[in-house]
């Protein structure tokens, strides 16, 4: 059987806020790779390990756990080390999950690892799947019953760093028939139409005209 790698978003810490798809990926895996900041590879302080243990208990399944030491130094060699642990895991297992808190799209290690895998093992990269999850800020909004944006408002995610950083912009709620000329591409612009519905269409460019209400554009940072 071909190797399969799931990058599983666990949600913001409540085991009930994991998606069914993410749960199924964990249940379908031969082993689960869990990041730990402890150099002794223990999970004493690991929030991810707590969530996965609770899920295994609540949903009555058990999988071998592979610790992935994650020192958070943001160095290429650390990510390579983590990828090497995944490669080693594949020597014994066919299906692996790597887990991350919240949603993998937001400040997660997942894409550092996938970039390396894409360059070194393109077949494994093609067979990898990223499973979306609930972000910490969606949960925060729900906790206090305050929207992040509604009507004519918008919201921003600002990393608390002492420097200018590139930006991803999401364009939503277009009018059908609208010309997209006013959307100026800064990075890499994609069009997503009818995602997960009939006629799903994802293009790695900006469509010149909006054909469906269920259209969003993402200008990914470069």
Ligand X SMILES: C[S@@+](CC[C@H](N)C(=O)[O-])C[C@H]1O[C@@H](n2cnc3c(N)ncnc32)[C@H](O)[C@@H]1O
Beta partners for residue 4, in sequence order? 95
Q: Is 13 in the site for ligand X (CB under 6 A)?
A: yes
Q: How far is the CB of 34 from ligand X (least distance, A)?
A: 15
Q: Is 102 in the site for ligand X (CB under 6 A)?
A: yes
Q: Is 48 in the site for ligand X (CB under 6 A)?
A: no
Q: Is 51 in the site for ligand X (CB under 6 A)?
A: no
Nearer Cβ to ligand X (12/174): 12
Q: How far is the CB of 191 from ligand X (least distance, A)?
A: 24
Burial group, residue 26, by CB count within 10 angstroms (0-12, 13-18, 19+): buried
Nearer Cβ to ligand X (133/174): 133
Q: Is 89 in the site for ligand X (CB under 6 A)?
A: no
β-strands 95-100, 31-36 pairing: parallel
Q: Is 19 in the site for ligand X (CB under 6 A)?
A: no
Using the CB atoms, write b or e for 116-155: b if 16+ within 10 Å: bbeeebeebeeebebbebbbeebeeeeeeeeeeeeeeeee
Residues in contact with ligand X, counted by CB under 6 A, come to a total of 10
Q: How far apart are CA 208 and CA 222, in angstroms?
A: 21
| Contact status, residue 117 vs residue 128, Cβ threshold 8 Å | yes
Q: How far is the CB of 82 from ligand X (least distance, A)?
A: 15
Question: Residue 197 has which token pair?
Answer: 């519905």
Pick the binder of ligand X from 51, 93, 103, 113 (CB under 6 A): 103
Q: Is 107 in the site for ligand X (CB under 6 A)?
A: yes
Q: How far apart are CA 7 and CA 1, in angstroms?
A: 19
Pick the binder of ligand X from 108, 121, 128, 215 (CB under 6 A): 108
Instruction: Count how many Cα atoms sit within 13 Å of the Cα of residue 58 in the half-sphere of its side chain.
Output: 11
Q: How far is the CB of 53 from ligand X (least distance, A)?
A: 17
Instruction: Give the binding site for ligand X (CB under 6 A).
Output: 12-13, 101-103, 106-108, 135-136
């Amino acid at each position: 059987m071909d190797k399969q790698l799931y990058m599983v978003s666990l949600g913001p810490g409540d085991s009930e806020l994991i998606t069914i798809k993410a749960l199924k990926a964990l249940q379908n895996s031969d082993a689960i790779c869990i990041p730990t900041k402890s150099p002794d590879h223990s999970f004493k302080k690991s929030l991810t390990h707590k969530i996965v243990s609770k899920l295994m208990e609540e949903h009555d399944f058990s999988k071998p756990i592979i610790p992935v030491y994650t020192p958070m130094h943001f160095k290429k060699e650390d990510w390579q080390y983590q990828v090497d642990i995944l490669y080693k895991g594949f020597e014994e297992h066919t299906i692996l999950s790597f887990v991350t808190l919240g949603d993998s799209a937001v400040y997660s290690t997942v894409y550092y690892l996938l970039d390396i895998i894409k360059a070194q093992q393109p077949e494994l990269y093609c067979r990898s799947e990223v499973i979306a999850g609930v972000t910490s800020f969606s949960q925060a909004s729900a906790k206090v019953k305050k929207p992040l944006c509604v009507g004519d408002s918008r919201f921003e995610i600002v990393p608390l760093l002492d420097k200018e950083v590139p930006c991803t912009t999401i364009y939503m709620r277009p009018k059908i028939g609208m010309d997209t000329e006013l959307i100026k591409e800064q990075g890499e612009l994609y069009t997503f139409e009818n995602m997960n519905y009939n006629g799903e269409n994802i293009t790695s460019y900006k469509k010149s005209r909006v054909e469906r209400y269920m259209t969003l554009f993402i200008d990914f940072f470069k």
